[in-house]
Amino acid sequence: MSAQNINIKLKIWRQQSDKDKGNFEHYSLNEVSTASSFLEMLDQLNEQLINEGKEPIAFDHDCREGICGMCSLYINGRPHGPDTGITTCQLHMRSFKDGDTIVIEPWRSTAFPVIKDLIVDRTAFDRIQHAGGFVSVNTSGNTIDANAIPIPKDDADDSFAAAACIGCGACVATCKNGSAMLFVGAKVSQFALLPQGKTEAKRRVLNMVKQMDEEGFGNCTNTGACEVECPKGISLENIARMNREYLCAGASEK
């Protein structure tokens, strides 16, 4: 499909800080190329706002190629927009039509307070990672080459699939309970499946789940919305694996 220019309306959440109540504001943007990305469209809007002497819209982004997980936008009622399996930065304006109204909101979850406009604070995820999302490596000079440790192919594949989680938070944003269990399940699973992750396995799952609860994320009620909206196709199986790990770790601690 060859690129064309479209005129769109935008309804965007503006909020000065987490203390501010916030509200939607309406904008018109003309001559948007359907070849541009969604974030380039927001850049174009911000240029227009700056030229009009108005404050640009704050939104998060970094890699703009689906890797960093920063571009956390709720677009027309869906995290990362209408297409599946992609992040907001991979969404293109060809997914919209001339005359469309696009509603853009930040992630809405108690554990992700709004910093400004469309930017939320996702450091709760960092604190969960710090609680156990790592492996200890012997750096004394006797480190074993990872390739020397045999790993069943299925386990390696499942671990790689879990490690694809980019920590974007779409799973939390779409969950009616604000649950982070798909994220934590992925982070626990990527290590639980590998021999390198066994040493701290019990501590890891207990500490990460404890931190998840302390951050104010809700519980999982198996709705499955997280799996549907995850841009990296993280499977619900990871939540089941985390629950198994948790039960086993808890039982052996007693």
Q: Which member of 89, 91, 128, 205 binds ligand FES (CB under 6 A)?
A: 89
Closest CA to 73 of 88, 94, 62, 85: 88
What spatial distance separates the first Cα and last Cα of the chain, rounded to whole Å? 62
Q: Which member of 12, 118, 131, 165 binds ligand SF4 (CB under 6 A)?
A: 165
Closest CA to 58 of 98, 102, 18, 7: 18
Q: For residue 87, give the 3-state DSSP assignment.
A: coil
Between 118 and 193, name the residue whose CB sits nearer to ligand FES.
Answer: 118
Question: Do the beta carbons of residue 144 and residue 137 sit within 8 Å?
Answer: no
Between 73 and 220, name the residue whose CB sits nearer to ligand FES.
Answer: 73
Q: Which two tokens stand for residue 119?
A: 């930017």
Across the chain, which distance is largest between two alpha carbons, in Å? 65
Q: Which member of 11, 64, 94, 108 binds ligand FES (CB under 6 A)?
A: 64
CA 31 to chain CA mean position, Å: 30
Size of the residue set binding ligand SF4 (CB under 6 A): 14
Does 57 bind ligand SF4 (CB under 6 A)? Our answer is no
Does 137 bind ligand FES (CB under 6 A)? Our answer is no
Between 132 and 167, name the residue whose CB sits nearer to ligand SF4.
Answer: 167
For the chain, the residue count is 254
Does 79 bind ligand FES (CB under 6 A)? Our answer is no
Does 67 bind ligand FES (CB under 6 A)? Our answer is yes
Q: What is the DSSP letter of 144?
A: P
Does 166 bind ligand SF4 (CB under 6 A)? Our answer is yes
User: Can you give the binding site for ligand FES, defined by CB under 6 A?
Assistant: 61-64, 66-71, 87-89
User: Can you give the binding site for ligand SF4, defined by CB under 6 A?
Assistant: 165-171, 182-183, 186, 230-232, 234
